[in-house]
Chains A and B, each alone.
Chain A
Amino acid sequence: MIPGANKEEKKRNPRLEDIKDTAKLLVKNKLALTGLIISSFYIFFAILDVIYPQYLGVGPGVVTTLTRFTGPNIVLAPPTDPTFSKGWYYFLGTTYANIPLLPAMLAALYNDIWDSAIVVGSGAVIGILVGTFSGYFGKIVDELVMRITDIFFSIPYLIFAIIMVTVLARVFAADNITIPPLTIISVSLIVIWWPTYARLTRSITLSVKSQKFIEASTASGSSRVRNVVVHVIPNVLSPVFVQISLDIGNVILLFATLAFLPLTFLNLNEFTPELGSMISSSETYMLGPGWFSAVIPAVFLLIFTISINLFGDGLRDVLDPKLRR
């Protein structure tokens, strides 16, 4: 080997190169690209609502309940057909209680995306910390963490979510704390979600830990905490990112499902801006002419979950070193 032969290689930033390659491959994967484009569109609206809450009238602080769209006196009424004459609010008609469907859906989307992002994000952060440290330090801590995650995996998470949500809602109600039902769901889901990430990162940590460069850096006096932060965590990021992109869809579905089920303690009603509860509230109209008021939000949700799944799946393929050519 000529001493100078590798100089050129060293100048390049390998991580940056990697990201560039990933992006290139991702663009070639048509399905993943489609998924990315469509889901970015959804996310764009969710972000737009934060930056210009007044613009669509559905941002934070503007909409916590759909009664904003109904006017002061609420009248339950069957859905009305789409119309283009009354402005964009009514492009998709109205749903129960004269709520204009389109802005209501955007408001619900805003809640769904942000809440699930928070759930998955916090779940991932907790999971990464627990997983990497327990994997790296091993021994009793590791054993304990694994047994705890075992417990979470020993029951379908929907069941756990139902119980958790109900109990939390009742506990808060007793203490006279008013917490929006969606927040209660978020909190419950974070508790349920971190073990997935802990498992994932732990297994990667174990394989990174056995590699030579870790030994070398320990030998050169690097502390163990520093090792985890500098060497292990960067290595777990890309699989975690894939998992996040697949989980966002899962968590949104879970929100919708919990909103759909008759969980009386949760106080979710037809005025909570949430796609699942909108669907279940207009379920009764599904057999009649107002079917669209249930189907449109459902399809709207479905398109998002499919796209984000397509993206996540494509990302996994692209990041898989075995499939990289």
Chain B
Amino acid sequence: MITQEEIKTEQGKVPYIEVKNLVTRFFTSKGIVKALENVSFKIYPGEVYGLVGESGCGKSVTSTSIMDLIPDPPGRILDGEIFIDNFNILSDLKSLAKIKVRSETDVKIKRNKSAIKRHNFILSKIRGNKISMIFQEPFLALNPTISIGKQISEVILLHNIIGMADSIIKRETMKTTDVDELLEQLAEINDYSMRKKIINQWTRNFGIPDLEASITSLLDHVTDQKYVAEQIAHMIEENQREINIDRIKEIRDYYTIERKIFELTLNQIQFERTGEIKKAQEAKAKIRAYKAMSKKKYFKLRLEMRFFSKRVLAIFHKEARRRVLELLTLVNLAGPEVVIDEYPHELSGGMQQRAMIAMALASNPKMLIADEPTTALDVTTQAQILELIGELNKVMGMSVLFITHDLAVIAEMCNKVGVMYAGNIVEETTTEEIFNDPKHPYTVGLMNSLPRADKKREKELKFETIPGNVPNLITPPPGCRFHPRCKFAMDICSLKKPKLTEVSENHKVACFLYSNESEDDVA
């Protein structure tokens, strides 16, 4: 959790996620749903960003857009940029489809299949790896016919094969000198926690985290260095399995080439966007060469992986399983050894959501999107899950985009809040400010609808609601979309759209009450 002071100095930092002018629409038989209209915001590393708003205002569409998971048909992202860890996943947006809007209900979309294929390839390496997501209803979000363990290890096998291969190779080719090195390192250190850290790192490095506990206790209780070294070497030897190192190296190399292709594709897309045609073509030629090479060199391996992937990757499955157990423990699931082989329907809602979180953490992403993760759960479980997410943020420094319509949860969880109304962010500021000094009339309305214990007694039960309904997004009100419900609506409000502008430090509002745009600007 970052403190308020840190937020104030965020100017110098690089956001992990930056959304710029995002426009998402749904082309339905009833008309075009203008679900998102120029949504922009940034999320910095370690930040918990809250998104609030009434039902149907586009919170889920925002989060699915960031993952680029808008169902097509009917939806499409039409415009905008989404930077995830400095890469704009919408770089090639314009090449994906040509959209011809003849009328509200008559839209022709011509999709470019090869571009979409490339786009999906890129995104499949980003989703779950750099950014992951948990959903409102864990029961629906988990595949009913695959065991929990397999669903989680799938993520690990997708994104972490190379790292796993490296540590397996290290473990299998470990020598006694490696043990000696550890002992040497430890000899100079007396601080207990420091020692623990070193042992932890060392075991992790060599892919034997199982042995961490026994090695630690051995080192703690036995002083005879030679005996210790022997014992550790023995333990490791027992842990080494008779496996074909060459095979693992082959698999690692194969995946390394895959990664190379991915990186080159990123380059190609970036060059295409900046208009450096030559460089893009160079990258393309390289990709082709790599692909041809991989096809030729790893023909047999690819074939085997296609049909006997379980056998070829057996050792990786085993490693992944160990990691899954770790993850399940991390999210405080009781009895991970049992849960790992169970199916979603055998778990309670809270356990399912924990499993979802474990899945989201599997490949150590820096960002988690949580779309109303507690709405479907009972109150006590809600609190536990919220606590867990908060902990993950604090301990692992993970950024969180937290979507909810519960303001109390926002107050508890978030550093920064964006308030959405009918497809726009209408106000964005720190959590403190939003509660102490809400500016936008819609936010004020939201605040007033909260039951407040500190107000006078008779008012306690009769909290105000905002009059009217969320507008239909097929034919949203012109100008400020809030004007039909706004107490302060002026003439300009129905004519012109207010921009999200900074009214004070770290406080942005989209409302004419706070901007000095004059009515003359109206075209």
Name A residues whose Cβ lies closer than 8 Å to a Cβ of B.
Answer: 1-2, 5, 21, 24-25, 28, 324-325
Q: Which residues of A contact B74 (CB under 8 A)?
A: 325
Q: Which residues of A contact B145 (CB under 8 A)?
A: none
Could you count the A-B residue pairs with CB atoms below 8 Å apart for me: how many are there? 17
Q: Which residues of A contact B468 (CB under 8 A)?
A: 1-2, 5
Q: Which residues of B contact A2 (CB under 8 A)?
A: 467-469
Q: Which residues of A contact B29 (CB under 8 A)?
A: 21, 24-25, 28, 324-325
Asked if B88 is at the interface (CB within 8 A of a chain A CB), the reply is: no
What would 7 A/B residue contacts be, using CB atoms closer than 8 Å? A1-B469, A5-B468, A5-B469, A25-B29, A325-B28, A325-B29, A325-B30
| Distance of A27 Cα from B469 Cα, bound (Å) | 33
| Distance of A324 Cα from B74 Cα, bound (Å) | 11
| Distance of A5 Cα from B469 Cα, bound (Å) | 8
Q: A21-B29, A325-B73 are in contact. List 13 more A-B contacts (CB 8 A).
A: A1-B468, A1-B469, A2-B467, A2-B468, A5-B468, A5-B469, A25-B29, A28-B29, A324-B29, A325-B28, A325-B29, A325-B30, A325-B74
Q: Which residues of B contact A324 (CB under 8 A)?
A: 29
Q: Which residue of A lies closest to B27 (CB)?
A: A325
Q: Which residue of B lies closest to A3 (CB)?
A: B467
Name B residues whose Cβ lies closer than 8 Å to a Cβ of A.
Answer: 28-30, 73-74, 467-469
Output the least CB separation between A132 and chain B (Å): 31
Output the least CB separation between B422 and chain A (Å): 16
Q: Which residue of B lies closest to A324 (CB)?
A: B29
| Distance of A5 Cα from B484 Cα, bound (Å) | 12
Q: Which residues of A contact B73 (CB under 8 A)?
A: 325
Output the least CB separation between B115 and chain A (Å): 25
Q: Which residues of B contact A28 (CB under 8 A)?
A: 29
| Distance of A28 Cα from B28 Cα, bound (Å) | 13
Q: Which residue of A lies closest to B28 (CB)?
A: A325
| Distance of A324 Cα from B30 Cα, bound (Å) | 10
Q: Which residue of A lies closest to B485 (CB)?
A: A2
| Distance of A25 Cα from B74 Cα, bound (Å) | 15
Q: Which residues of B contact A1 (CB under 8 A)?
A: 468-469
Output the least CB separation between B279 and chain A (Å): 42
Q: Which residue of B lies closest to A21 (CB)?
A: B29
Q: Which residue of A lies closest to B484 (CB)?
A: A2
| Distance of A25 Cα from B468 Cα, bound (Å) | 31
Q: Which residue of B lies closest to A24 (CB)?
A: B29
Q: Which residues of B contact A21 (CB under 8 A)?
A: 29
Q: Which residue of A lies closest to B74 (CB)?
A: A325
Q: Which residues of B contact A5 (CB under 8 A)?
A: 468-469
Q: Which residue of B lies closest to A325 (CB)?
A: B28
| Distance of A60 Cα from B74 Cα, bound (Å) | 51
| Distance of A28 Cα from B30 Cα, bound (Å) | 13
Q: Which residues of A contact B30 (CB under 8 A)?
A: 325
| Distance of A1 Cα from B54 Cα, bound (Å) | 13
Q: Which residue of A lies closest to B73 (CB)?
A: A325
Output the least CB separation between B446 and chain A (Å): 16
Output the least CB separation between A204 and chain B (Å): 24
Q: Which residue of A lies closest to B105 (CB)?
A: A24
| Distance of A24 Cα from B74 Cα, bound (Å) | 17
Output the least CB separation between A318 and chain B (Å): 10
| Distance of A324 Cα from B73 Cα, bound (Å) | 12
The 4 A-B pairs at the shortest CB distance, nearest first, are namely A325-B28, A2-B468, A325-B74, A2-B467
| Distance of A206 Cα from B344 Cα, bound (Å) | 28
Output the least CB separation between A144 and chain B (Å): 34
| Distance of A28 Cα from B27 Cα, bound (Å) | 15
Q: Which residue of A lies closest to B33 (CB)?
A: A325
Q: Which residues of B contact A25 (CB under 8 A)?
A: 29
Which among B28, B29, B73, B74 has the greatest number of chain A C-beta atoms within 10 A?
B29
Q: Which residues of A contact B469 (CB under 8 A)?
A: 1-2, 5
Output the least CB separation between A48 and chain B (Å): 35
Output the least CB separation between A23 and chain B (Å): 12
Output the least CB separation between B150 and chain A (Å): 28
| Distance of A254 Cα from B459 Cα, bound (Å) | 73
Output the least CB separation between A147 and chain B (Å): 31
| Distance of A318 Cα from B469 Cα, bound (Å) | 29
| Distance of A25 Cα from B469 Cα, bound (Å) | 28
Output the least CB separation between B477 and chain A (Å): 14
Q: Which residue of B lies closest to A25 (CB)?
A: B29
| Distance of A21 Cα from B28 Cα, bound (Å) | 12
| Distance of A1 Cα from B468 Cα, bound (Å) | 5
Q: Which residues of A contact B28 (CB under 8 A)?
A: 325
Q: Which residues of A contact B467 (CB under 8 A)?
A: 2
| Distance of A25 Cα from B29 Cα, bound (Å) | 8
Q: Which residue of B lies closest to A6 (CB)?
A: B469
Output the least CB separation between B485 and chain A (Å): 9
| Distance of A28 Cα from B29 Cα, bound (Å) | 10
Output the least CB separation between A22 and chain B (Å): 11
Q: Which residue of B lies closest to A28 (CB)?
A: B29
Q: Which residue of A lies closest to B71 (CB)?
A: A325
| Distance of A212 Cα from B503 Cα, bound (Å) | 49
Q: Which residue of B lies closest to A1 (CB)?
A: B469
| Distance of A325 Cα from B26 Cα, bound (Å) | 10
Q: Which residue of A lies closest to B468 (CB)?
A: A2
Output the least CB separation between A24 and chain B (Å): 7
Output the least CB separation between B109 and chain A (Å): 14
Q: Which residue of B lies closest to A5 (CB)?
A: B469
Output the least CB separation between A320 and chain B (Å): 14
Output the least CB separation between B420 and chain A (Å): 20
| Distance of A10 Cα from B94 Cα, bound (Å) | 43
| Distance of A2 Cα from B469 Cα, bound (Å) | 8
| Distance of A230 Cα from B467 Cα, bound (Å) | 35
Output the least CB separation between B13 and chain A (Å): 42
Output the least CB separation between A251 and chain B (Å): 33
Q: Which residue of A lies closest to B467 (CB)?
A: A2
| Distance of A25 Cα from B73 Cα, bound (Å) | 16
| Distance of A325 Cα from B469 Cα, bound (Å) | 21
Output the least CB separation between A18 and chain B (Å): 13
| Distance of A33 Cα from B28 Cα, bound (Å) | 20
Output the least CB separation between A324 and chain B (Å): 8
Output the least CB separation between B405 and chain A (Å): 17
Output the least CB separation between B394 and chain A (Å): 41
Q: Which residue of A lies closest to B465 (CB)?
A: A1
Which among A2, A5, A28, A325 has the greatest number of chain B C-beta atoms within 10 A?
A325
| Distance of A25 Cα from B467 Cα, bound (Å) | 35
Output the least CB separation between A243 and chain B (Å): 24
